Amino acid sequence: MSACYELAEHHLGRQFPRPHITFRKSGKNAGTAFLNVNRINFHPIIYTSNQEIFINEVVPHEVSHLLVWQCFGKVKPHGKEWQAMMSQVFNCEPNVTHRLDTSGTTKNVIQYQCQCGVVELGIRRHNKVLKGAQYRCRRCERILVYVEPNETNAA
C-alpha cells in the first residue's frame, strides 16, 4: 500500500493522506474503496489465497479510486480519470473486475434462473427478493427467477 502512495506522490507531485484499511468479507469483492471516509476494505479470504495478484492489481485498483476522488472529486468510478491513474501511475491494466478465484468466499448462495442459465445470488440479495426486489441478469438483462432447490435447472 505504501509503495502505491509513494509512486503516486512522486508521479503527481503532491502528498495524499493514507487510508484506513479494513479486512472484512464482502461477497466476491476483492476490495472496496470508501471515498468519503478515505477507507479501503479488502476481502481477507481472497487476499490470503491470491496475495501476489492482490498486491499487484487489487491494491492499485482501490488506491486509484481514492486518488481520483481526492484529485478530481465525483467522477465515473471507472472513468477516464481512474483508467489514466491505473495505466499512467501504476502501469496496470485498468480492469474493472478482478479474475481471482472466489469459490471459497460465499457459502450461502441461492440459485436463480434467467435466459442464460443459472445465476447465483448471495443470501442478502435473496432476502431482498423475498421482500419484493428484482434483479436482472447482466448478460441477457432478463429478470432473475428463484429456482426452488428441488427443481431442475432447465432453461
Give domain limits for the chain.
2-89, 109-146
Please write the tens of the pLDDT for every residue from 140-149. Answer: 999 999 887 7
Q: What is the CATH number of domain 2-89?
A: 3.30.2010.10
The secondary element (H helix, E strand) that includes residue 22 is strand 20-23
Please write the tens of the pLDDT for every residue from 105-153. Answer: 656 778 899 988 888 888 888 999 999 999 999 889 999 998 877 644 4
The whole-chain average pLDDT of the chain stands at 89
What's residue 105's pLDDT?
Answer: 64
From 6, 9, 52, 62, active-site residue: 62
- Active-site residue 9, yes or no? no
